[in-house]
Amino acid sequence: MATQDTKEREDAVEGVNRYQFNLLHCLAEGLPDLHDPRYDSLKAAPPPGCSAGRYGDFFCLRCEREGLNLLDAVAPVCAEVRAASGVLMTDLGVEGLWEWKADGRDGRGATVVAQLLLMAAERASLIGYGVDDLVRFLRTAAG
C-alpha cells in the first residue's frame, strides 16, 4: 500500500499540482444578487474542495483542486457547478487582464487565459454562439 509520501512523489512525477483559485459568477449583463436562488444548492453543498462565499459583491467559490495545470483544475469545478445549478462561473477574480505575464502554465498568465476563456464562453452564449463555435474559431484562428 502506498504511503502519503509515496503518493505525493508519484503525483509530482506525473505533473499533478494543487491549485487554489476563486471562481466568481460575474455576468456581462449585470451584477447578480448574492441571494439569487441559483446559489442555494452551491451554498448548501459546494463542489468538493470548495467553499461558498463572496468576493466583493459577487458570489464566489474558493477552491483548491488538483490538475496537470490550472485549466485542468478549474474546468471540472465549472462543469460540476453548471451541472448542479445551471450557473456558469465566469471569472477568476483577475483584475488588470491587460497586464500580461508569460510565466508558464501555472502562473498569472494561466489565470488570465482561464478567465478570458470563461468570459468568452458566457458572452458568446449571449449572442448565440455555442462551445462548438468557440472551439472551431480557436482551431481555425490559432491552428
Q: Domain boundaries in the chain?
A: 14-142
User: What would the mean pLDDT of 82-87 be, rounded to a whole number?
Assistant: 94
Q: Is the pLDDT of residue 1 over 80?
A: no
Q: Is the pLDDT of residue 69 over 70?
A: yes
What lies within 8 Å, CB to CB, of 131 at 6+ separation is 121
Nearest-angstrom CA–CA distance, 24 and 115: 10
pLDDT at 67: 95
User: What would the mean pLDDT of 7-18 be, rounded to a whole number?
Assistant: 65
Q: Is the pLDDT of residue 17 over 90?
A: yes
pLDDT at 12: 54
Nearest-angstrom CA–CA distance, 112 and 102: 10
What are the φ and ψ backbone dihedral angles of 67, each rounded to 5 degrees?
Answer: -175, 165
What is the pTM (predicted TM-score) of this model?
0.83
Helix (H) or strand (E) holding 14: helix 4-14
